[in-house]
Structures are given as structure tokens and as C-alpha cells.
Amino acid sequence: MNTKVKFIVHDHDAKRAGKHQDLRFQKPNDMKNWLSFAVRKGVPTKPGSRVLAIKTNLHSEEEALFIGEIPEGEYGAGTLKVFDEGMAIIKMYKPAHISLEFKGKKIKGLYHLINIGVTRNTKYKQNQYLLFKGGRSK
């Protein structure tokens, strides 16, 4: 695939969901919309670390790049700060497996998002992904 996209990782101190990171990147073939994943334990920077990433709603570019305070009562209320941003190359984009090569200052290298779809809460069943660094792209 090798589609070049922008990405951003926010440190999000949300009133309801608590502290976590949001990983966002442009959706291939629809660059005006950004895919977004909430990562409670943060985006791993070392190979072998695996964390849960919950896919959230698509964001417009304006929403994806927002920095500051989301007001009380709005979705995601709390503070957003930039942890890292830059360019990424989407190597593979399938519903069950997204492979990206990040070229940020802190987030670098090949990462995979694998849909695991395992949960007791059916609301999030299709939105659970395993995020990890390393491995080979296809």
C-alpha cells in the first residue's frame, strides 16, 4: 500500500476516561477523516510491548489536531497535549490488521494494530485492537 499520512499522539487527561494517549492518523483514501484509537497504557516505544487500543469515532482534521481544553459535557472532556506528531507510511490497511511505519520524534518504526474483537461488552467488541511495535510488514 505505502500511503503517506500525517499522525498525532495526544496525552489526554480526560475527566471521564482518565489519563491515556490518543493515537490518530489520516484514513487512507479519505485523508479528511482521521482514525482514532484510545490507548490507556500509552503507545509502546519498545519492541515486544503490547497494549490494548480502542478504536473510537472518526475525527475531522480539525478535531484530530486540536490541542487544549475540551469543555465539560462534550465528548472527551479534558486536556489534550501533543506527545508526538509527524508522518507515517501505511504499509497495510485491512479491517483486521493495520500496519504503519511511524516517523515521529518519539514514535518511530513499524507498528501493528490487530483487531482482537474480544470483550464482554458488545459495544466495543469490534473496536478492540492489540497495538505493538516491531515485526515485518506484508
pLDDT in tens, 67-81: 999 999 988 899 999
Q: For residues 123 and 104, give the distance between their C-alpha atoms in angstroms, rounded to a whole number.
A: 32
Q: Is 34 part of a structural domain of the chain?
A: yes
User: What residues of the chain score a pLDDT lower than 50?
Assistant: none
Q: Side-chain half-sphere of 111: how many Cα atoms within 13 Å?
A: 27
Q: Is 73 part of a structural domain of the chain?
A: yes
Domain that holds residue 39: 3-133
- Domains of the chain: total: 1
Q: Is 120 part of a structural domain of the chain?
A: yes
Q: For residues 65 and 40, give the distance between their C-alpha atoms in angstroms, rounded to a whole number.
A: 19
Q: How many CB atoms lie within 10 A of CB 138?
A: 9
Closest to 85 measured CA to CA, from 2, 11, 3:
11
Q: How confident is the model at residue 136, as a pLDDT?
A: 58
Q: For residues 125 and 115, give the distance between their C-alpha atoms in angstroms, rounded to a whole number.
A: 9
Q: Is 138 part of a structural domain of the chain?
A: no
Q: Is 88 part of a structural domain of the chain?
A: yes
Helix (H) or strand (E) holding 62: helix 61-64
Q: For residues 57 and 127, give the distance between their C-alpha atoms in angstroms, rounded to a whole number.
A: 10
Closest to 41 measured CA to CA, from 30, 29, 49:
49
